[in-house]
């Protein structure tokens, strides 16, 4: 049985959360509060963190929007503290540079945010039906779809697309940065990727490529066409100029599909690669778009005259497989 290595911060966290007991983390740049609980879905104790919006005038805390942040495969629920993002966001919200909002960060381990095909690790259900209700109760917010947003990077970017599109009744917006966004054919290619097969039993996670019903259930190209007016979502996509080809190509193709289907969205090509130094400057832009639909004009990286050229470069640079590494 495949077991995942994970960083457990229980010594740092040191708590139980039968009814959402949270503890803060000291330090100017460490603003997360940590909690854990026994997950009935996964059959073990799991962790999460929250970033509470700073006090301020205007909207009461219990009516503020909530972002559910899905981390990448090399990170966990502590990433905002580890990379000094929690302090920066807290200060920016407190000084009025960003709209005030709360954040929830589940520990998704290395589970791809899927309900595994073999039934052993229902990570999707764990996030939706265990983490979010507990964390929202801990934050004291009123659960509402129009105030809840899903955002992720890398593995979490992929997870945000699949989970968000599968559950439009739960999320007002989806942000996917540096994630693989694959249709059924691209997913079949990914399943044969030797890099990923070296580390994971992909059939356990994603299922048999011949299982068309499951493939369609997670096909973003099909899911995005099933929305009605009551479940429209803002969609924000982003990838860097130095990303692996699979990420650039699949994101660019999904952007093309959304444009062809006349689905309102934004796609940003940023100067950088698959790392936090590249993602940090993009986070405020993504948050503003999710909350307000406001954004600077689509932002191609320097060296591109426009977004169409950036996307065309990513799409035409190779017709190879969708595989690429995800942090």
Q: Does residue 3 lie in a domain region?
A: no
CB-neighbour burial class of residue 111 (10 A; exposed 0-12, middle 13-18, buried 19+):
buried
Range 264-278 average pLDDT: 95
CB-neighbour burial class of residue 229 (10 A; exposed 0-12, middle 13-18, buried 19+):
exposed
The partner residues of 270 in beta bridges, in order of sequence, read 240
Its pTM stands at: 0.83
Structural domain containing residue 238: 10-316
For the stretch 241-258, pLDDT in tens is 999 999 999 999 999 999
Q: Does residue 287 lie in a domain region?
A: yes
Q: Does residue 5 lie in a domain region?
A: no
The partner residues of 48 in beta bridges, in order of sequence, read 35, 106
Q: Does residue 32 lie in a domain region?
A: yes
Q: What is the 3-state secondary structure (H, E, C) of the chain?
A: CCCCCCCCCHHHHCCCCCCCCCEECCCCCCCCEEEEEEECCCCEEEEEEEECCCCCCCCCHHHCCEEEEECCCCCCCCHHHHCCHHHHHHHHHHCCCCCCCEEEEECCCCCCCCECCCCCCEHHHHHHHHHHHHHHHHHCCCCCHHHEEEEEECHHHHHHHHHHHHCCCCCCEEEEECCCCCCHHHHHHHHCCHHHHHHCCHHHHHCCCCCHHHHHHCCHHHHHHHCCHHHCCEEEEEEECCCCHHHHHHHHHHHHHHHHCCCCCEEEEECCCCCHHHHHHHHHHHHHHHHHCCCCCCCCCCCCCCHHHHHHHHHHCCCCCCCCCCC
> Which CATH number covers residue 281?
3.40.50.1820
Q: In 3D, which of 247, 262, 227, 265 has the Cα closest to residue 315?
A: 247
Q: Does residue 327 lie in a domain region?
A: no
Q: How long, in residues, is the chain?
A: 327
Q: Spell out a b/e string for 294-303, using b for 16 or more CB atoms within 10 Å of the CB, else e.
A: ebeeebbbee
For the stretch 102-114, pLDDT in tens is 999 999 999 999 9
Quick count: other Cβ atoms within 10 Å of Cβ 26? Answer: 6
- Total domains, the chain: 1
Residue 96 or residue 9, greater confidence = 96
Q: Does residue 324 lie in a domain region?
A: no
How high is the pLDDT of residue 194?
75
Q: Does residue 81 lie in a domain region?
A: yes
Q: Does residue 326 lie in a domain region?
A: no
* pLDDT interval class at 323 (50, 70, 90): very low
* Phi, psi values for residue 202, rounded to 5°: -65, -30
For the stretch 135-163, pLDDT in tens is 999 999 999 999 999 999 999 999 999 99
Residue 1 or residue 121, greater confidence = 121
CB contact at 8 A, 42 and 126: yes
CB contact at 8 A, 90 and 54: yes
């Amino acid at each position: 049985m495949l077991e995942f290595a994970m960083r457990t911060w229980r010594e740092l966290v040191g708590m139980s959360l039968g009814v959402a007991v949270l503890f803060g983390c000291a330090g100017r740049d460490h603003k997360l509060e940590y909690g854990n609980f026994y997950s009935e879905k996964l059959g073990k104790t799991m962790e999460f963190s929250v970033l509470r919006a700073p006090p301020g005038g205007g909207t009461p805390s219990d009516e503020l929007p909530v972002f559910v942040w899905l981390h990448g495969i090399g990170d966990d629920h502590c990433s905002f503290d580890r990379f000094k993002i929690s302090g920066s966001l807290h200060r920016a919200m407190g000084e009025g540079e960003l709209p005030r909002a709360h954040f929830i960060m589940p520990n998704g381990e290395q589970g791809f945010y899927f309900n595994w095909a073999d039934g052993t690790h229902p990570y999707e259900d764990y996030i939706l039906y265990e983490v979010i209700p507990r964390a929202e109760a801990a934050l004291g917010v009123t659960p509402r779809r129009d105030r809840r947003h899903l955002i992720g990077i890398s593995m979490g970017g992929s997870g945000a697309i699949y989970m968000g599109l599968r559950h439009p009744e739960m999320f007002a917006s989806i942000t996917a940065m540096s994630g693989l966004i694959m249709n059924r054919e691209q997913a079949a290619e990914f399943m044969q990727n030797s890099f990923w097969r070296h580390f994971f039993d992909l059939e356990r996670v994603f299922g048999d490529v011949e299982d068309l019903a499951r493939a369609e259930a997670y096909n973003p190209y099909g899911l995005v066409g099933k929305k009605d007016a009551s479940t429209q979502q803002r969609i924000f996509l982003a990838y860097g100029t130095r990303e692996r080809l699979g990420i650039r190509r699949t994101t660019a193709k999904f952007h093309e599909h959304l444009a062809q289907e006349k689905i309102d969205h934004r796609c940003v090509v940023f100067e950088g690669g698959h790392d936090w130094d590249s993602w940090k400057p993009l986070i405020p832009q993504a948050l503003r778009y999710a909350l307000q639909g406001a954004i600077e004009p689509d932002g191609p990286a320097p060296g591109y005259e426009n977004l169409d050229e950036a996307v065309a470069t990513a799409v035409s640079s190779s017709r190879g497989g969708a595989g690429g590494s995800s942090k």
